[in-house]
Structure 1
Amino acid sequence: MTKPAVPPVLISVARRIETRALLIWLACAGAIWGFFNIAGEVMEGDADIVDQQLLLMLRRPSDLSDPIGPPWVEEALRDITALGGFTFLTIATIVAVLLFSFHGKRRQAWILAGTVLGAQVSSEVLKTFYDRPRPSLVPHGSFVYTQSFPSGHSALAAAVFLTLATLIASVEKRPSSKILIYVLAVVITIGVGFSRVYLGVHWPSDVLAGWSLGATWAFAAWIVLEWMRSRDVSRERG
């Protein structure tokens, strides 16, 4: 018997998924390479001079305890840094997981929960492994309790907001809304990382490594989502 012809639209969708999946795999590999490249520079001390120069650029030369800009800027950045904190991201994750579940999007709910948990655990393990001290060049503008490398706030912000953007975009049909979601996720992630350096609690290389780690988990979540999509297409074709 002759097999029924596969609808062209399914073939087109399958090809787009395969191409997108390849690009995501490459991006994930690039994020992993970025993290370990930065880690190597830090462990060898090659990042120290640049880290110190960038940190001092955000302080008044006459008083290193005073960040540049008016007082309200420091207060605003302290608010922004809270967006990458454990408490806020835990609440945001729980709410998002529940909302996805209530709307029948259990796939997205499980992916988000797994990604956030993986990012949190890997961040803590890597902090212990590298055991880098916090910056002592300037006073800290926020309380800190753990080691410096990588930045947990930056890693968690990247993992949570980028993954959340990807999952919301997967169920959003309007291109303009998808673009807005991704832009907001990127802006918040950058803002959290910058605030950690501005407040003197992290070296710039800590933040770069945190972004790389968080992006790795976000790309991994995207890969899982694309794999599930391709499996659905295969079932439809079968």
Structure 2
Amino acid sequence: MSFSTPPIDLELFRLINATLRHPFVDPVMRAVSSEAVGAVLAVAIVAYVWRRSRGRALALVFLALLTVGVVDGSVNQFKDFFGRVRPMNALHAVHYYEDGRWQRTEHTEATKSHGVSYPSAHAANSMALAVTLMWLWPAGRPWILGLPLFVGYSRIYLGKHYPTDVLAGWLFGAAAALVLLQLAWTCAHILSRRRNQTTSRA
């Protein structure tokens, strides 16, 4: 179910990927988009929230990891369904980083007929983690939200995704996290009520 790129989507992609490029920013975007760096950053954020929230942290950190796992596994199903080709494989003059170096596409036609661009898994995973952590620690919302925003921007900058890929990833990640959080809260509430009823009968 591939679809064409809307003009506004293409214009915004060109703005971020070409017009706003700068050699100083290049390594920063590579680092932000790196799975290894992302994992270290996520662990650091989780550890900090753990210290701030104490009692509830263990269960909710586990929930955060579970949420990211569910989102990462399910988002790939949507990628296969939509089959959108990545910008670096579909557009001319796209700056992208691959094989250890920065490159620029020279092809004028798409090099693939089916791709995995939509939605962005990086955006979905980072947003799912951020929503879960913000639910755990409301005071940290402003800066925790910066994680998925920064990650999503880097995916466009690196030529891997269109803005709508990132937006779809954000929405999917946030929705999945909210559903799982609500489910977890409901289960915890039911268990607590049953525990209280058992205690009162004893």
CA contact (8 A) 1:93 1:112 kept: no
Aligned to 2:72: 120
- Contact residue 93 and residue 113 of structure 1 kept, 8 A: no
Q: Name the aligned partner's letter for residue 132 of structure 2.
A: T
Distance in 1 between residues matched to 2:120 and 2:193, nearest whole Å: 40
**2:111 equivalent to 1:161:** no
Q: 1:157 Cα deviation (Å)?
A: 0.7
Aligned amino acid, residue 49 of structure 1: P
Structure 2 SS opposite 1:142 = strand
Task: Output the CA distance in 2 between the equivalents of 1:132 and 1:86.
Answer: 26
Tell me if 1:213 matches 2:163.
no
**Which residue does the alignment assign to 1:151?**
120
Question: Which of 57, 82, 89 is residue 39 of structure 2 equivalent to?
Answer: 89
Structure 1 residues 191 and 88: alpha-carbon distance in aligned structure 2, compared to 1, 3 A threshold: closer
Q: Distance in 1 between matches of 2:157 and 2:3?
A: 24
SS at structure 2 position matched to 1:206: helix
Q: Does 1:142 align with 2:97?
A: yes
2:103 maps to none
Residue 120 (structure 1) shift? 0.8
What 5-or-longer segments of structure 1 have no aligned partner? 1-41, 61-66, 170-177
- Distance, in Å, in 2 between the alignment partners of 1:95 and 1:147 is 29
For residues 129-155 of structure 1, what are the alpha-carbon distances to aligned partners after superposition, in whole Å with 9 as ceiling and x for unaligned?
A: 2111111324342349x7111111101
Partner of 1:27: none
TM-score by length of 1: 0.60
Match of 1:48 in 2: 6
Q: Which runs of 5+ in 2 are unaligned?
A: 100-114, 198-202
Counterpart of 1:118 in structure 2: which amino acid? Answer: V
Where do residues 172-211 of structure 1 align in structure 2 (5 Å cutoff)? 178-179=138-139, 181-211=140-170
Query: What's the offset of the Cα at 1:109?
Result: 4.0
RMSD, aligned α-carbons: 3.3
Higher relative contact order structure (alpha carbons within 8 Å, sequence separation ≥ 6): 1
Shift of residue 105, structure 1, vs aligned partner: 5.0
Report the Cα offset of residue 192 of structure 1: 0.8
Tell me by how many angstroms 1:107 deviates. Answer: 2.9
Count of equivalent residues: 175
Matches of 1:88 and 1:235 in 2, distance apart? 40
Q: Which residue identity is paired with 1:56?
A: R
Q: What is the match of residue 12 of structure 1?
A: none
One-letter identity of the residue aligned with 1:223? Q
Q: 1:221 to 1:182 in 2, by over 3 A?
A: farther
TM-score between both structures, scaled by the size of structure 2: 0.70
What CA distance in whole angstroms lies between the structure 2 residues aligned with 1:207 and 1:152?
Answer: 8
CA contact (8 A) 1:139 1:200 kept: yes
Shift of the 217–93 alpha-carbon distance from structure 1 to 2, 3 Å rule, reads farther
Does the residue aligned with 1:72 lie in a helix, a strand or coil?
A: coil
How far apart in 1 are the matches of 2:42 and 2:21?
Answer: 30
Whole-angstrom CA distance in 2 between matches of 1:195 and 1:209: 15
The amino acid of 1:80's aligned partner reads V
Per the alignment, residue 70 of structure 1 pairs with: 22
Runs of 4 or more consecutive aligned structure 1 residues displaced over 6 Å after TM superposition: none
